[in-house]
Amino acid sequence: MRALLGRIWTVRRAVALYAGVLTLGWLAGSYLRDLAIPEMRPMNEPRIHAMVMVALVVFIVAAAIPFVPGAEVGFALLFFFGAQAAPLVFLGMVGAMVLSYSVAKIVPIRSLISLSNWLRLGKITEFLRRQQAAEPQNEPKAIMQNLDNRLARFAVKNRYLVLIILLNTPGNSILGGGGGLAFFAGLSNAYRFWPFLLSVVIAVAPVPLAFKILDLAG
């Protein structure tokens, strides 16, 4: 009975932590979107340029934070400024993903092991310890060796394609959003920088490009 109650408490603690992080992410995304997109009012050109730069910085910060739906800020910028903002949104989103990926590279895996151990997530803790012991150049192979599920192995083998799909999946903020996915990619050591960057460019390009094409066609 004590073991059962311990498991129930562990699950409740993990779910509560996840729900709290997800809620804070949505609230932060909503606040940052309102900060980046001010009310419509007459203003001179220098003020418009300053507002665009502030919006871009806010967008990069928002999109880089895990569980914050930064894509919403990007869509708001596109609808507010139109096709003229498409290049900035594209560069901002790519920059945010690279920022999140780079930050993950300096996070000690020991911290994640401690967190998963605190949550009593035994399998995840064991998995992270194996990843810590694996050599970086053999990381994808080590991950596949630690997976029993055939679908999971397929996902690791085709990880760049999976990343592109997940970045374009509606509601991916549940999985951490673009920032969370990029953070995990950097943390896992399974994604090399240049293929990762190319995958992000392919994933991000369609929407800003569509706005630009529609503007030229109109």
Could you report the per-residue pLDDT of 53-84, keeping only the tens digit for each?
A: 776 777 787 778 777 777 777 777 787 777 88
Q: Are 110 and 76 part of one and the same domain?
A: no
Question: What is the pLDDT averaged over residues 114-124?
Answer: 70
Q: Report the number of distinct structural domains present in the chain.
A: 2
Q: Are 149 and 186 part of one and the same domain?
A: yes
Q: Are 69 and 136 part of one and the same domain?
A: no
Q: Are 155 and 179 part of one and the same domain?
A: yes
Q: What are phi and psi of 50, to 5 degrees?
A: -65, -40
Q: In this predicted structure, which of 35-44, 105-114, 163-172, 191-200 has the lowest mean pLDDT?
A: 35-44
Distance of CA 107 to the CA centre of its chain: 15
Q: Which of 94, 117, 142 is the last residue of a domain?
A: 94
Residue at 131 is within a domain: yes
Name every residue whose Cβ is closer than 8 Å to that of residue 147 and which is 6 or more positions away in sequence: 153, 156
Q: Are 15 and 63 part of one and the same domain?
A: yes
Q: Are 42 and 118 part of one and the same domain?
A: no
Angle in degrees, CA 65, 67, 69, rounded to 5: 85
Q: Are 46 and 83 part of one and the same domain?
A: yes
Residue at 213 is within a domain: no
Q: Which of 94, 124, 152 is the last residue of a domain?
A: 94
Q: Are 137 and 199 part of one and the same domain?
A: yes
pLDDT at 189: 80
Q: In this predicted structure, which of 37-41, 44-48, 122-126 has the lowest mean pLDDT?
A: 37-41
Per the CB < 8 A criterion, the answer to whether 178 and 93 are in contact is yes
Residue at 210 is within a domain: no
Tokens, residue 26: 């949505």
Domain limits at 11? 2-94
CB atoms inside a 10 Å sphere around CB 213: 12
- What is the overall mean pLDDT for the chain? 74
Q: Which of 61, 94, 127 is the last residue of a domain?
A: 94
Q: How far apart are the first and last CA of the chain?
A: 68
Say if pTM beats, i.e. exceeds, 0.85.
no
Name every residue whose Cβ is closer than 8 Å to that of residue 63 and which is 6 or more positions away in sequence: 70, 71, 73, 74, 92, 93, 96, 97, 177, 178, 179
Per the CB < 8 A criterion, the answer to whether 125 and 116 are in contact is yes
pLDDT of residue 5 exceeding 50, the answer is no
Q: Are 174 and 200 part of one and the same domain?
A: yes
Q: Are 67 and 115 part of one and the same domain?
A: no
